[in-house]
Structure 1
Amino acid sequence: MTPPELIPQGAPLSDVPEFTEAQVKALAGAWIDTAQEFVALAKTPQTIRDLLASALGVDQAGLARLVQAAQAAIPPTRDVRSAQLELEAAAVDYGLGALLDEPPEVLASRLTLPAYEPPAGRFVLPASVSHLDQLPAVRNQGSRGTCVAHAVLSVREQLEMTAGSSADIDLSEQFIYWWCKEHDGIPTVSGTYVVVGMRCLEELGAPLEDTWPYVSYERGDQGQGPPPPAAENGDPGLKTLRTLPLNRTDITGIKTCLAEGRVVAFSIPVFDSWYHSSATRRWGKITPPLPRERPDGGHAMALVGYQDDPAAPGGGYFLVRNSWQPWSYDGVWQEGYGYIPYTYISQHATAVFSADRIPGVDVALRDSATDTGARPTTGLTWNSPDIWLRRTADGGEAHQTPAAGQPNALYVRAHNSGPAYAYDVRLELFAAPLAPYVRPDDWQPIVRKRLEWLAPGEQILGPLTWTPAAAGQYAYQARLTSAEDPLPAQPDPAATNNVAARRSWPVDLAPGASAEVAFEVAGAAGHLGLAGFRVDRAGLPPDFNVSPLKLERTPWGQPGESTGEPVTRGAVDDAVLGAAVHGALTGGMILGASQRHRASLTITLPPAAQPGARYTLVISQLQGETVVGKLTVEMAVAG
């Protein structure tokens, strides 16, 4: 790939006859090779012009002649927008804020760091890398000394975008800078250290921007604290796994880190030769200092790519993300992104850090209140407490029978038991006529919802509107997935915690009243043996009356009269039927996978039932000796 032209339509100084070969070479050492850059440099403060004249071996009059010759070589390229932005940029006093006065032994120790070794082993580096498409919009630090917060959050936000977050992810620079000022030992001094910002990410994580929005101007103390309650503890889901210090002289290692998919925060001394240059403000090209030039403050930015280029000092340059606006408004890539040569980093950077994201996402739905998410499971897989319906969107959590022909509100409690944020989270809800066993083809989609992210912990999704066409009781199934936790091929609640079902029959009964529980019986595909049922009344007091469960010969939903008699393998007397209500088999019937019949029983509360009390009855369907499904009747005694 041919390196791009960083100064569009730049006029090479080597083509300006008034410049000697030695002068062109001297300027090339400072990465100044076009007439546009030279003219801009000559308009900086007098101290810089003096250094420039000295580097070229001319006096101020000679410098003026060179400037005039260079100006004449510049083609007209400025449009109205560019001219307006140049005026705006010239009026801005860009904030800095990277402190460079760390103890000498700390700075020296960073120069002894070993060369970076990629975990998967070394590989051939590409000639160019760019992560611009993995970063959110450029921020503006304004006049505050908060560049460190902006630089380290570029590292953190890029890690989240590579994991699947949306491009508008925005973490709180206000929190990072406040925390740094609480921990860097100099709370009244503007600015902080990159290492402290990286420590904040590792120890607390960064909360979302809307929990504590950034203020771009000075007010009160440096940190502008205290933070609001929602932000004061950071965000554990947005911590980093580890901070990765890099040796500034290890340019290959820094490039390798970028090629692996990370960006890098760094701090450097600022030199007025580029800070005050209108060319740098326009195109974002950060140049090495002139001979004998002294730094004037420190700044932190993020390396977000690189380009090998033999014409640049050190053989190439890094693509940098800055926190100034307007800046690099006519740059080759995007506004706010500039370029810094390899040698600037290797010779002048005071801190270079990257980081790894904490891995681990597990979006889940529980099958029971005690479900830990481990799969496969042999426990409850039919009565999830994380799925419920309300006839109105009142936020209640008691499951209700839906009202047909009008909007009902479904709720799902979604869990992320991993340590990191889950992205591109998708929820699908299905419904089917309520029965202990629901054939896979009977589940019909009723609601779909997409979330940009799901933080670690739990979140109630809803109300989700659903209007059932027919009256009756329904079973519900929810499927929850994310970019890192997709749905398996077989959405079985017993095999994956991405799926849960609720097959419960809510009924309110007054003392002494009765209710019929009637449902469809369908053969379970892939299971041999006679169909049978168990009725478990362990959740009922002894004085509750439950009739024998009837299996009727008339297929479900077809015309004809039922015999009203249980269908069994032979004669079944009253004693057997009575035992069936208390947990034995009702008997059995041959039931093919395509056959459907009606089953029913009646529950009668005693007159002395206590209003407000709740009870359960569990009906299990068996195919041979295998339990293929269960249904829970949830009774509430009405007052």
Structure 2
Amino acid sequence: MPRPGRCLFAVLLLTLTILAAPRLSLAADALSFEPGDSIETLREKIRLNGYDFTVGETWVYNLPESKKKSLYTRGAIPSSPPKAASPRLTSLDAAAPLALPASFDWRDKGGKSYIGPVKNQGDCGACYAFAAAATAEGAYNVATGRTGAACADFSEQFIAFCLGTYGPYSSHFNGCDGADYDYAELLALTQVGAANETALPYTGVTPSGCNSSAYPVIRFKSWGRVACSDTDAIKATIMANGPVDAAVNVTSAFDAYTGGVYQDDQAGCPGSDCAYTVTNHAIALVGWNDNGDAANNGYWILRNSWGTGWGEQGYMRIKYGSARVSCSVAYLTYPLQTGGRLPGALKLLLQ
């Protein structure tokens, strides 16, 4: 029978070995962030996984779980997603004309910002409208050279309710009740257009109707998807057209993010059509940074719609591939196709 001293020594040695062991680095071995994780639990998981970001009690983290469910409202995945939902840009056709720099940021391009202030969707599940508006604003600003205070400011209220709840796209997106995976909100901006925020300010409350016929609109030329997980194609699309619309699968750590390079164990795009991989929140990507080692340290610059009190003044640095951020990415193109007021047939549909 071993002596107590030897047992104590063995336990001590094992403890020291665990503490000295390399932190988890592979997504397959990482500890997952779970609903209901306390801030202390999140910090311990971050430490054990070897991640480099911080968390705290943000307003989203502090929401009751029932409220969070209403905030994350991406629709159910179709039982049989289309095998080829739409043509997709790849690194071969998107990146060829562009020399991709190690870092790029539309918030500071030649000392000028082509993006307006961060917005806050509140507890309305209209993140898709904010991502679409940010993408539209960026595409319009980049194409027309608008910067700083002259940046466009499009109405999320118009997208969510006039085009969605009371409009012809309500089967795809509906006010605070979210959107499906088809990016019909971007299609709507090419077929109908975007109204200005001043014409219809965001309230996050479902209106009793929408008299949209009086709103001047800006219509976009086209929209498209970027090939899943094609980092170079996403970069080239951002650089050529402006910020892109993307989706993430939010965790408790994402809710609580306060700074650093976010990372989790949700790498890859496991959907039967990868663009239909499960996600629950829409955001925009405005740039990137390879951070000295693209394969291991590179990150996207993510623009959220949770106000400047979340993250890094409303933004997040998120590692390439984490939170499924590279699975479902789409873009808009400008110049103007048609403009002015809404076509007569669509006016009737929207009234």
> Residues 204 and 234 of structure 1 are in contact (CA less than 8 Å); yes or no, is this contact kept in structure 2?
no
Alpha-carbon displacement from aligned partner over 1:337-394 (angstroms, at most 9, x marks no partner) = 112222237x56553111111248xxxxxxxxxxxxxxxxxxxxxxxxxxxxxxxxxx
Deviation of the 1:190 alpha carbon: 1.2
Q: How has the CA–CA distance of structure 1 residues 101 and 227 changed in structure 2, closer, same or farther, with 3 Å as cutoff?
A: same
Counterpart in the other structure of 1:115? 90
Tell me if structure 2 keeps the 8 A contact 1:204–1:239: yes
1-side partners of 2:115 and 2:123: how far apart? Answer: 23
* 8 Å Cα contact 2:222-2:332 kept in structure 1: yes
Aligned residues: 297
Is 1:136 the counterpart of 2:116? The answer is yes
Partner Cα separation in structure 2 for residue 18 and residue 111 of structure 1: 49
Matched, 1:180 2:180: no
Letter in 2 for 1:23: R
Superposed CA RMSD in Å reads 4.4
Q: 2:236 aligned with 1:256, yes or no? A: yes
Deviation for aligned residue 1:23:
3.2
The answer to whether 1:192 aligns with 2:162 is no
Q: Distance in 1 between matches of 2:72 and 2:23?
A: 32
Q: 1:189 to 1:145 in 2, by over 3 A?
A: closer
**Structure-2 separation of matches of 1:89 and 1:354:** 27
Provide the residue aligned with 1:164 in structure 2: 145
CA shift, 1:262, in A, is 1.6
Which amino acid in the other structure matches residue 191 of structure 1? G
Shift of 1:227: 1.6
- 1:145, 1:207 → 2: CA distance? 20
Distance 2:24 2:326 in 1: 26
* Correspondence 1:562-601 to 2 at 5 A: none
Cα distance between partner residues in 2 of 1:188 and 1:43: 25
Contact 2:302 2:315 in 1 (8 A): yes
- Are residues 29 and 253 of structure 1, via their aligned partners in 2, closer, same or farther at CA, if it must alter by over 3 Å? farther
Unaligned 5+ runs, structure 2? 1-15, 108-112, 271-276, 342-351
Q: 1:118 to 1:99 in 2, by over 3 A?
A: same
Deviation at 1:104, TM superposition (A): 3.6
Classify 1:191/1:284 alpha carbon distance in 2 versus 1 (closer, same or farther; 3 Å): farther
Which one-letter code corresponds to 2:335 in the other structure? I
Contact 1:269 1:349 survives alignment (8 Å): no
Separation (CA, whole Å) in 1 of partners of 2:329 and 2:150: 25
1:484-525 CA-to-partner distances (Å, cap 9, x unmatched) read: xxxxxxxxxxxxxxxxxxxxxxxxxxxxxxxxxxxxxxxxxx
- The Cα shift of 1:148 comes to 0.5
Provide the rounded CA distance (Å) in 1 between the counterparts of 2:27 and 2:94.
40
Letter matched to residue 183 of structure 2: V
> Residues 28 and 120 of structure 1: is their aligned pair in 2 closer, same or farther, counting only changes over 3 Å?
closer
Higher helix share: 2
SS of structure 2 residue aligned to 1:301 = strand
One-letter code of the match for 2:159? I
Deviation at 1:266, TM superposition (A): 1.1
After TM superposition, give the deviation of residue 160 of structure 1 in Å: 2.5
Which residue of the partner structure matches residue 246 of structure 1? 226
Q: Which has the larger radius of gyration?
A: 1
* 1:425-461 Cα distance to aligned partner (Å, 9 max, x none): xxxxxxxxxxxxxxxxxxxxxxxxxxxxxx79xxxxx
Q: Which residue of 1 aligns with 2:316?
A: 338
Change (3 A) 1:45 1:96: same
**Higher-RCO chain (CA-CA 8 Å, sequence separation at least 6):** 2
Q: 1:227 to 1:192 in 2, by over 3 A?
A: same
Could you state the TM-score of these two structures normalised by the residue count of structure 1?
0.40
- Cα separation, 1, equivalents of 2:34 and 2:326: 26
Match of 2:300 in 1: 318
Please report how far the alpha carbon of residue 180 of structure 1 lies from its aligned counterpart in structure 2 after TM superposition.
Answer: 2.7
1:153 to 2:158 alignment: no
Residue 105 (str. 1) matches residue 78 (str. 2)? no
Q: Residues 94 and 237 of structure 2 are in contact (CA less than 8 Å); yes or no, is this contact kept in structure 1?
A: no
Mind listing any 5+ residue stretches in structure 1 that lack a counterpart?
Answer: 1-15, 33-37, 57-62, 361-418, 421-454, 457-639
Aligned pairs for 1:234-313 within 5 A = 235-236=216-217, 238-275=218-255, 278=256, 280=257, 282-283=258-259, 285-289=261-265, 298-309=280-291
Q: Which amino acid aligns with 1:192?
A: A
Q: In structure 1, what residue type is equivalent to 2:199?
A: T
Alignment of 1:605-616 (within 5 A): none
Q: Which has the higher strand share?
A: 1
Matched, 1:354 2:331: yes
Q: Partners in 1 of 2:17 and 2:292 — Cα distance?
A: 24
Looking at structure 2, the residues matched to 285 and 327 of structure 1 have their Cα atoms a distance apart, in angstroms, of 17
Q: For 1:628-639, what aligned pairs fall within 5 Å after superposition?
A: none
Find the residue that maps to 1:211 and give its secondary structure. coil
Contact 2:119 2:308 in 1 (8 A): no
| Percent identity (aligned) | 20
Q: How does 1:358-369 map to 2 (within 5 A)?
A: 358-359=335-336
CA distance change for structure 1 residues 164 and 154 in 2, over 3 Å: closer, same or farther? same
Structure-2 residue corresponding to 1:214: 202
Cα separation, 1, equivalents of 2:306 and 2:18? 36
